[in-house]
Structure 1
């Protein structure tokens, strides 16, 4: 007999899952019975928070959802911090947990690992939380999770299985595989954006984490327009050592000056979060008026309205914009000089101690080319988030922006190393984060 827990493993295999992170417990035994007969690799951390952070690093480095198995109650609450970080940074993460038997839920009888309302708690941090009440629900809820990961702004998803459902028979369940793509860019919006690009004389691109897998069209557009490209912390590695690249935080005065003088700003995959754009909490950041926004998340576009909003994957939107602009447009003449002046001024603006810490990170990069550098909430990471030019798109990420979880670095680096075994992986952490 195949149980629901065992069947779940088979369904994950059908979704091309090859690695899960977790700590087994009495409420998740059936998942581990399934793993014993599976090719899926299981990685055990010291603590469930580590499982979540490993899944995060695995997803960021490898471009695939990170999966965590955790027990009911304290195992799941230990994972919430990692889910909060994933939510803040749009990291695809699937957390599968147990929960107490269905007849006992919400009754407060004092069962092992019992919470008053586990799913209600998870709904506050996950994109969605689903309780499985029947084996037939498994294919659909997994399809929903993976469709969300591939077609919209990703984040953490939670699925819980009561212990009485976990052991029920589940033979013959087939995976529901859906090929859900992101929305195509609206042709009318692309046409209007192309007109603005044609009229711009001092264009600028702001690249966020949503653009990190769109380097080729991003670079072509920047070169076509002669537009400097400012990269937030999660976009570092784009346009490495390119004359139009500006690997500096928009919190710096020099970068804000560049933005203020631009007559067109194209924001690709950035939410304009204060930790990137107002890191000193001085209120000096002003949203550009002549703004084109590209984002896969419709809710993000609604939060910070732009003159033109393009709801699409960054790569697809940039490619469409390039086609619409065509070959006739000459680039503006001073993009490279504006970028060079901003790079120089941004670095000079930093205190000498911060400059030294950035130089130290650059030495690591140069000693280990093509490396993935994973950072914790520690001073050299703060410095490099202000100014640092990495050599690999998606190869610089950390917990020092957004949610800002301490202790992220070591487990996330382990996850990254498992996702990309051929790349050197470096963890930058402090004494507090390492503990």
Structure 2
């Protein structure tokens, strides 16, 4: 639908009855919501219909929006998250009052931690019943208070006439601020109330913020004089790959990427350090930098201190670029703070540096130093990590353009250090930020819907898969042929090792593991088991040619025995 059709009206005359004849009833708020979502370009809604949300579905069947039904509201949230990470657009969910919302809370928290746009639209009890404590169906004392801390904001729509304004606020967050989940709850009596006329011009888009000239001038001066410049880039720069690369090459500045920024510099780029900010050799290099440019990154623990020793430090001058003014002052305070969209700021910095002389980088800096640091890091990896790298390399080498949606599992942890993604938005997982389990499968479903022509692999452990295993049925039903690669170490292997390292007798980690192949086939999927790169490559090729999901099991002990390093 063309957003420029500002004179187009959606009113009661567009309402039709079940037999297709024009109806006389008023267009409801629920129907108008669907129309507005179409105007904003929403293609998918993830949700499980319930008695409190059926009126949101009244206009859905005749819309262009496709509905996908997960088997749990947490799955809806993770699907929306995976869709958003691939497209950069918000994933949208329809969720019932009470238990539906508490079920999706974990997914909202993961999206909040990783700055992922997600629109959660829920029902809530009627206006006259809010906060009554009468024990009504699905009643929470205050649903909005519960979820206000899990997103940019939570809003109760008390008047249908306010719907366009509230949606405009939500999309302003998604498109021109730090993206986070937004929750809009609609009381049951408001969902069915008349909504009146809606114009396409209601979808007003806010521009992204641009940097202040004085801050840009100060940053450009520092960078131009730097002898050992270095760049730290995070997921906030995901759409600024070209600008980041141009600036890095002009300055000969090494670049370290967070997990959510992988692919901003492609594998093999000489200035790419990787995602090893928690390792000693990379940390030493960062401390030696005389000017550090941090763009779109929190400088948070799960990207810079996963060893939890407090050893990450910046000794030189620090320039920070972030769309969130408050985040600029968290963790490490900058010498120059630039509130801006990453692409806008990097482009402006490049322009300024082209207009003035730039001091050459030190002779022992740049690509040569990066190569030495990468070699030192590589020498420190154990056989297990090298073996798991072979697993990831096989996936990427076999399936060009693959998107890998990971869970909290051992090969993903290894890949966060070792894997250099070929492009942005092609490697993401739940092991950073909030760090939940069960994310990988539903997130992969959302990613495949977002990029139907690209292969999508869910990389997940046997424990994590059991959190959201029923979503295999959702994938079959929605005709989403994801490839689920299960790393099976028969329990919570990483926690088992963690307990042993601390001389704690392992308890609760050796869980019962089902027959994944039999379960996969029962859900309508194909299944296989592999234990070396050659057979994995063959099964990946078969899986990529199918129109149903495929579950491929890799047993850790067998893989390590056949792929020692």
Corresponding residue for 2:234?
208
Deviations 1:53-92 (A, max 9, x none): 0000000101111100010000011011000011000000
Are 2:122 and 1:102 aligned? Answer: no
Q: CA deviation at 1:407?
A: 0.5
Partner SS, residue 123 of structure 1? helix
For residue 164 of structure 1, what is the aligned residue in structure 2? 189
Residue in 1 that maps onto 2:299: 272
Q: Kindly indicate whether the alpha-carbon contact (under 8 Å) linking 1:289 and 1:307 is maintained by their aligned counterparts in 2.
A: no
Counterpart for residue 29 of structure 2:
4
Verify the 8 A CA contact 1:72 1:98 in the aligned structure 2.
Answer: yes
1:170 match: secondary structure: coil
Instruction: Spell out the pairing of 1:104-183 with structure 2 (5 A cutoff).
Output: 104-174=129-199, 176-183=202-209
- Say which SS state the counterpart of residue 283 (structure 1) adopts: coil
Question: Is the Cα–Cα contact under 8 Å of residues 372 and 392 in structure 1 kept in the other structure?
Answer: no
**1:167 Cα deviation from its structure 2 partner:** 1.1
Aligned partner of 1:81 in structure 2 is: 106
Aligned to 1:338: 369
Q: Do the aligned partners of residues 416 and 288 (structure 1) sit closer, same or farther apart at CA in structure 2, a change above 3 Å counting?
A: farther
| Preserved CA contact (<8 Å) 1:48 1:70 | yes
Whether 1:229 aligns to 2:255 is yes
Q: Distance in 2 between matches of 1:27 and 1:81?
A: 21
Corresponding pairs, count:
435
Q: Structure 1, residues 338-383: CA drift from partner, whole Å, max 9, x if none?
A: 1111111122222221222123212211111221110001110011
Structure 1 residue 212: deviation in Å?
1.8
- Poorly superposed stretches of 4+, deviation over 6 Å: none
Q: Distance in 1 between matches of 2:390 and 2:288?
A: 29
3-state SS, counterpart of residue 114 of structure 1: coil
Aligned positions of 1:315-326 closer than 5 A:
315-326=343-354
Task: For 1:291-302, list aligned pairs within 5 A.
Answer: 291-302=318-329
1:353 alignment partner, SS class: helix
2:216 aligned with 1:190? yes
Select which of 278, 289, 296 maps to 1:262: 289
CA-CA distance at 1:330 after TM superposition = 5.8
C-alpha displacement of 1:179: 2.2
Assess if the C-alpha contact under 8 Å between 1:252 and 1:349 holds in 2.
no
Separation in 1, partners of 2:315, 2:71 = 46
Asked whether the 8 Å contact 1:374–1:427 carries over to 2, the reply is yes
* Residues 371 and 392 in structure 1, CA contact (< 8 A), matched pair in contact too: no
Consecutive unaligned residues in structure 2, runs of 5 or more: 1-25, 467-565
Distance in 2 (CA, whole Å) between partners of 1:367 and 1:212 is: 25
CA distance in 1, matches of 2:207, 2:379: 43
Alpha carbons 1:289, 1:306 under 8 Å: kept: no
Contact residue 36 and residue 203 of structure 2 kept, 8 A: no
Look at both structures and tell me which one has the larger radius of gyration over its CA atoms.
2
- 8 Å Cα contact 1:248-1:255 kept in structure 2: no
**Matching residue within 68, 82, 100 for 1:43:** 68
* 2: CA distance, partners of 1:289 / 1:3: 59
Name the structure 2 match of 1:15.
40
Structure 1 stretches lacking a partner, 5+ long:
none
Contact 2:227/2:359 (8 A) holds in 1: no
| 1:313 corresponding residue in structure 2 | 341
**1:325 alignment partner, SS class:** helix
* 2:535 corresponding residue in structure 1: none
Give the distance between the partners of 2:343 and 2:148, measured in 1 at CA. Answer: 31
CA shift, 1:331, in A, is 4.4
Q: Distance in 1 between matches of 2:46 and 2:204?
A: 24
CA distance in 2: counterparts of 1:274 and 1:287, whole angstroms: 14
TM-score normalized by the length of structure 1: 0.98
- Which one has more relative contact order, counting CA pairs under 8 Å at least 6 apart? 1
Alignment partners' CA distance in 1, 2:445 and 2:212: 40
Deviation, 1:302, is 2.2
Q: Secondary structure at the match of 2:221?
A: helix
Is the 1:126–1:156 contact (alpha carbons within 8 Å) kept by the matching residues of 2?
Answer: yes
Secondary structure, counterpart of 1:34 in structure 2: coil
Could you say which residue in structure 2 is the equivalent of 1:403? 434
